[in-house]
Amino acid sequence: MQYKRTPDTRFDALEDYPFAPHYLHVDDTEGGQLRMHYLDEGPADGAIVLLLHGQPSWSYLYRYMIGPLVDAGCRVIAPDLIGFGRSDKPTQRQDYTYARHVAWMSDWLIQMNLSTVTVFMQDWGSLIGLRLVAAFPERFARVVLANGGLPAGPIPQRFAPALRAAYQELPVIAASELDARFRDTSGLPGFLYWRKFAAESAEIARPGMFMDAIGNATPLTVAARAAFDAPFPDESFIAGVRQFPTLVPLFADEPEVAQNAAAWQVLEQFDKPFLLAFADDDPVSEPLQAPFLERVPGCKGMPHRTISPAGHFLQQDQPAQCVQAILDVMAV
């Protein structure tokens, strides 16, 4: 598998990100290896908190949460998914599959030998992270789910042909229009516009700009925008970011629907603390909360909360509230 590695100089002196890099290698599933980056802060014997990011961000998204969690005595670990941050980036979109992302993170989790983990997951961090919880329930003590979910082909198959045909004709809209598309429930699902945007728009190569357009209650600083852009010097580094929306199993015949359905069966038996902390203003994930409350036993009696004011990237908007959600679930 061919990959690129972002030059270290791209990460020099990032705003509010004083953390030392750590690396290990995972099986690329083709006989080679990929280097995965992660942060590991706090006491070695502290209670483990695992922070999983989504698309198109990286561990920089957690920069304001790490310090307070360490101050609370936690060992805080925040990996960069393959294709993101300081981790290696396969260069072809077809190199990225949902199954491979789960395999890469499973390999990393086993090598790290993590157990009694409290995990905070958002966006694609939840699509992968919940699969990890289902595959290794004995390693996870608690879950905080924030603006995420585990779709298993939610769009009825009878609608699939028409929606797929409509998708082919969709325009590639500007990033500034995406938020409105997600909020408009009278037409095609906003996620299809996002899928097309990520696959074809030149703007996706600048995650900082995109995050401001759809995901934050408050604008990013110029320095923060540059930091979110740092992993991607040019188009050749961006294949993973482009591919992620295509991998979300919206239709019943897409890959990993059966695997996600099987994971749901495990989650339906997961009775450890499972807390929901969704933002008050995220049109992307708001509908995803109800199935967890209905189906996951660990959600019963938990102090679920709404993070406010916050958008899709609630770690950026309200890091203190996110930290408190983690500390609260650890106190249950």
Q: Which of 37, 53, 101, 312 is catalytic?
A: 312
Q: How far apart are CA 243 and CA 197, in angstroms?
A: 11
Cβ atoms of residues 256 and 249 within 8 Å: yes
Q: Is residue 123 annotated as part of the catalytic site, yes or no?
A: yes
Cβ atoms of residues 283 and 190 within 8 Å: yes
Q: Which of 88, 107, 229, 282 is catalytic?
A: 282
Q: How far apart are CA 51 and CA 70, in angstroms?
A: 13
Angle at 205 between CA 199 and CA 211, to 5 degrees: 95
Sign of CA dihedral 255, 261, 262, 267: positive
What pairs with residue 24 in β-bridges?
Answer: 36
Cis bond before residue 309 (omega within 30° of 0) = yes
Q: How far apart are CA 124 and CA 83, in angstroms?
A: 13
219: exposed, middle or buried (Cβ count in 10 Å: 0-12, 13-18, 19+): exposed
Count of Cβ atoms closer than 10 Å to residue 12 Cβ: 8
Sign of CA dihedral 256, 262, 263, 264: positive
Count of Cβ atoms closer than 10 Å to residue 86 Cβ: 25
Query: What residues contact 300, with CB distance under 8 A and at least 6 apart?
Result: none
Q: How far apart are CA 329 and CA 141, in angstroms?
A: 10
Cβ atoms of residues 89 and 18 within 8 Å: no
Q: Is residue 281 annotated as part of the catalytic site, yes or no?
A: no
- The 10 Å CB-count burial string (b at 16+, else e) for 128-140 is bbbbbbbbbeebb
CA torsion 159→165→171→172, rounded to 10°?
80
Q: Which of 123, 179, 212, 317 is catalytic?
A: 123
Residues belonging to the active site: 123, 282, 312
